[in-house]
Amino acid sequence: MNELADPKLNHLLAALPAEEFARLSPHLEPVTMKLGQVLYESGGALSHMYFPITSIVSLLYVLENGSSAEIAVVGNEGILGISLFMGGETTPSRAVVQSEGIGYRLGSRRLKDEFKEFGPMMFLLLRYTQALITQMAQTAVCNRHHSVDQQLCRWLLLSLDRLSGDDLKMTQELIANMLGVRREGVTEAAGKLRHAGIISYSRGHIRVLDRPKLERNVCECYAVVKKE
Amino acid sequence: MNELADPKLNHLLAALPAEEFARLSPHLEPVTMKLGQVLYESGGALSHMYFPITSIVSLLYVLENGSSAEIAVVGNEGILGISLFMGGETTPSRAVVQSEGIGYRLGSRRLKDEFKEFGPMMFLLLRYTQALITQMAQTAVCNRHHSVDQQLCRWLLLSLDRLSGDDLKMTQELIANMLGVRREGVTEAAGKLRHAGIISYSRGHIRVLDRPKLERNVCECYAVVKKE
DNA sequence: AAATATGTGTGCGATACCGTACAGACAGGT
DNA sequence: ACCTGTCTGTACGGTATCGCACACATATTT
């Protein structure tokens, strides 16, 4: 990668006043995030905080028996590694790259120093954490009360919002992991959407054809999370 | 109430260094929390932060159609109103008193001032928030993957841990609201536990007879949340 | 070209939970 | 003692999701 993306494409970094950004930017390290890459393991130590630019990362919570559920999604609107400044050294969830792309990262030491300046960075991080909590809560109720069909719509839209095009590279198997349902359930729900002419897909490539229709199928949870 | 409880029975206040506690304590206002009382409405403004002593409060997330799910429980180990210092003026969830009791509260203005001292209070609050996030995440996966039976066990144990005795005052209807299931589902699950000699109950009074057995029925989620 | 791996479609029966309906048990007030 | 409201027990069909099994299609490797 010869051309480096502007760190300010991450909304959080963009919201930082010039002075703070200048102080931080020498320490920002560009990283490419590969599909399926695990940034944090659940219970593991955190060495960096990540600022996605074109990538999307899922926060998964994994049970002992291996079944899992997505509790939040982070794209260029947010950051990964909030536990770092919240006081824990470890994170309870696993962070998996859901859509390949680039981003920046910041060493934990540097981040903590910046946080302890009690400046704009701290308030930004806290406000984002608040938004993340909201997203988690909404996801939790959605899990409980809405059908797989609806959840798939929500998931597609949330992913789409964080990407430029109408394409996403993602197998039904992986989506099933995120939603915490069977792969067959996703196949069926996706089949309905395809039949309705809303999406098309094949072997790990999904294309959204009719976004307005997709939005008419989704549950209220999408709007709430989007507002963030 | 002539006799006032010691504010330090709240773990968070207890963890505060003497100096900070002295500064805060004149502003702590004792409150009684009645069963079913709503401390915060979802989307509403927050005037105070609450420190439960003998009460237990549930954080509920309510959908448009009225169905709800509990996303976290707070007793004397924690606080209510984290949105206050996280930067939002409103909270996304509804806070309902689940077990009658007393507590203290602190005006939002005073709290924010204290938070901005960037002292021990801030770090305590942040660490607790981290624990709360963990609890929310665990609850979310539990919702998705575990049976009503297991969730009821978890719920009973979590409530019990925050009380002194083996009794709780709580109808099956309310438990159902918390777990986001039908009342009949709770009746059935509770019936099984009673039949197994683990609990007894009648008209809003539940008594746990055999806690070890209850713990053998619960899912892993309980242990994780308890560790906090 | 053949062999293998990966992703998707489909078709069961099993089951957990839902929605609804109603009956009985108990508490409190008049 | 009665009425009324609240809490609990039970039943029944309906449905979404599960768990499993297997066929098929399309990439990827050999």
* B86 with A134: Cβ contact below 8 A: no
Position A146 confidence tier, pLDDT thresholds 50, 70, 90? very high
Integer Cα distance of B52 and B74 in angstroms = 8
* B61 with A126: Cβ contact below 8 A: no
Question: Which residues in B have their CB inside 8 Å of a CB on A?
Answer: 61, 63-64, 67-69, 71, 83, 85-88, 92-93, 116, 118, 123, 126-127, 129-130, 133-134, 136-141, 143-145, 180, 220, 224
Which chain B residue's Cα is nearest to A66?
B145
Mean pLDDT of A61-84: 93
Position B165 confidence tier, pLDDT thresholds 50, 70, 90? confident
CA of B171: nucleotide with nearest C1': D7
Mean pLDDT of A169-190: 96
* B136 with A141: Cβ contact below 8 A: no
pLDDT computed for residue B2 by the predictor? 45
CA proximity to A4, closest of A41, A37, A26, A30: A30
Mean pLDDT of A131-158: 95
Residue pair A53/A104 in contact (Cβ under 8 Å)? The answer is yes
The answer, yes or no, to whether residue A153 has pLDDT greater than 90, is yes
CA of B203 to C1' of D3 (A): 19
The answer, yes or no, to whether residue A171 has pLDDT greater than 80, is yes
B223 vs chain A: nearest CA distance in angstroms? 12
The token pair at A185 is 């359930």
The answer, yes or no, to whether residue A3 has pLDDT greater than 70, is no
Mean pLDDT of B80-100: 91
Q: Which of A130, A139, A224 sits opposite B140 (nearest CB)?
A: A139
Integer Cα distance of B175 and B98 in angstroms = 9
Mean pLDDT of B147-161: 96
B60 vs chain A: nearest CA distance in angstroms? 9
Phi-psi domain of A163 (left: phi exceeds 0; alpha: psi -120 through 50; beta: other)? beta
* A68 with B136: Cβ contact below 8 A: no
Residue pair B35/B102 in contact (Cβ under 8 Å)? The answer is no
Q: What's the pTM value of the predicted model, to 2 decimals?
A: 0.93
pLDDT computed for residue A2 by the predictor? 46
**Tens digits of per-residue pLDDT, B108-119?**
999 999 999 889
Position A89 confidence tier, pLDDT thresholds 50, 70, 90? confident
Nucleotide D15's nearest residue (CA vs C1') is: A147
Q: Dihedrals φ, ψ of B83, to 5°? A: -55, -30
Q: How many CA atoms lie within 13 A of A140 on its CB side?
A: 32
Q: Which residue has the tokens 């979590």?
A: B158
* A130 with B67: Cβ contact below 8 A: no
Q: Which residue has the tokens 């005073």?
A: B110
Helix (H) or strand (E) holding A170: none
Mean pLDDT of A40-57: 94
Quote the percentage of chain A above a pLDDT of 90. Answer: 87
Within a 10 A sphere around the Cβ of B13, how many other Cβ atoms? 23
CA of A204 to C1' of D20 (A): 24
CA of A205: nucleotide with nearest C1': C7
Q: How far apart are the first and last CA of chain A?
A: 32
**Tens digits of per-residue pLDDT, B192-216?**
999 999 999 999 999 999 999 999 9
A211 vs chain B: nearest CA distance in angstroms? 23
Position B15, amino acid: A
Contacts of B140 in chain A (CB under 8 A): 61, 69, 71, 136, 139-140, 143
Q: CB of B78 under 7 A from strand C?
A: no
Mean pLDDT, all residues of chain A: 93
Q: Which of A87, A93, A130 sits opposite B83 (nearest CB)?
A: A130
Nucleotide C18's nearest residue (CA vs C1') is: B182
Helix (H) or strand (E) holding B74: strand B68-74
In this structure, of A154-168, B1-15, B22-36, B170-184, the range with the lowest mean pLDDT score is: B1-15
Mutation site, A12, A91, A143, interface B, largest B CB count within 10 A = A143
* A86 with B133: Cβ contact below 8 A: yes
Which bases of strand C sit closer than 7 A to a protein CB?
6-11, 16-21, 26-27
